[in-house]
Amino acid sequence: MGRIIGRHIGEEDGPLLVLIGAMHGNEPAGVRAIELLLKMLEVEPIKNPDFSLKGNVIGVIGNYRGLQSNQRFIHRDMNRCWSSDVIESDDSSIAEYQEIREVFRTLQDEIAETQSQSAIVLDLHTTSSKQGIFVIPSEDQSSLEIAKQLHAPVVLGITSGMHSTSLHFFNTANMGIPTIPVVFESGQHIEPLSVNRAIAAIINCMRTIGMVREEDVENIHDKLLIEYSKDLPRVVDLVYGHPITPDNHFSMQPGYANFDPVNEGEWIANDIKGKIFSPYTGRVLMPLYQAKGEDGFFIVQEKLG
C-alpha cells in the first residue's frame, strides 16, 4: 500500500470526501476502516441496485513512515506541524514535514483530477487510553453541524488549545476550494471495535453531507455509536491542556480513561518535578499512555444548555 489507500468515484456530482488514517503512525484503525469502507462502496450497488454515490471518496495515509514503523511520529508530531510554511519549505531533515508535503500534493492532484468544487476532510484517530469516542469540529459552523450528527460527544475548544493541526490547516484558503475539516476519535488504538466505529462515523458523515441517501444507510451504524456514547456527555468544553516535552519525563497515574471524572487537586500524573494535580474539576480526555506525545492530558467540562 502506498500513500493512497484507495478511491471511489461516484455516479453523480458531489463533494470530495477526504478520509485520513494514521495521521499518527501508531493509529492503524483509521486505515483499516477506510479500506473496508471502500470495499463496501464497491459491493453496495450489487445488493442495492438503486444505490448512488454523490461525489468522490479518497482515502490517504497521513504519516506513512510512522505507520510503517508503528511509531506515533519519527521526528515531530505530524498533527502539530500543519502550516503553509511547512508546505512551502524544502526541509527534508524532519520526516513529518515531508509527509505533510506529500499528503498536500496528493490532495491537490485529486481535486484537480476530479474537478471537485468542495471538500470535507474527516481525520480518523484513536487514543492510547481506553473508553470513550468523541468528535472534534473546527471553529467553522458547518464543521460543528457535521460533528453533531456523528453520535459521539462533541469536544469544543480543542483548536484553541492546540496548534497547527488538521483542523487548523484544512480550510478553504489552504485547499483552494470550500473545505470543512472534522476529527473523529473512534476508541483505543488496538481495540477491534475502533475500526467498526470509524466505519460508522464515515458512513454517518456521508449521509450528513448528502453523499448517500438516508434509506441506504443501515441503522446498525447509528446504533453502534449511540450505544457506545450513551453514558457520555453530549458536548464538552476544553478548559485545560497539559503540554509536555520528552525532558519532562511525564507519566500519567494508572487507570484513567477518556471522560473519567477528576476533581480539582486530584493527583493525576507525575513528571521530573514531582506530582501533577488536576487544576480543575471535570473529565479527563486523552490521558497519555504511550511513549510519544506533546500533550499529557486534557480537562473538559460538560457544556449545559
Architecture of domain 4-229: 3-Layer(aba) Sandwich (3.40)
More confident site: 118 or 292: 118
More confident site: 48 or 260: 260
Name the packing angle between helices 193-208 and 29-47 (round to 10°).
60
Average pLDDT over residues 12-24: 97
Supply the mean pLDDT for the chain: 94
Range with the poorest average pLDDT among 86-90, 126-130, 182-186: 126-130
The predicted pLDDT at position 161 comes to 78
pTM of structure? 0.95
215: cell is 434509506
**CATH 2.40.50 region(s) of the chain?**
235-302
The predicted pLDDT at position 149 comes to 93
**CATH 3.40.630.10 region(s) of the chain?**
4-229
CB contact at 8 A, 302 and 236: yes
pLDDT exceeds 70 at position 244: yes
The predicted pLDDT at position 1 comes to 66
Measure the CA–CA gap between 108 and 119, rounded to whole angstroms: 11
21: part of which helix (H) or strand (E)?
Answer: strand 12-21
Q: In this structure, are strands 119-127 and 179-188 parallel, antiparallel, or unpaired?
A: parallel
Average pLDDT over residues 197-213: 95
pLDDT exceeds 80 at position 304: no
Average pLDDT over residues 79-87: 96
Number of Cα atoms under 13 Å in the Cβ half of residue 73: 18
**CATH class for the domain made up of 235-302:** mainly beta
The predicted pLDDT at position 305 comes to 58
Amino acid at 155: V
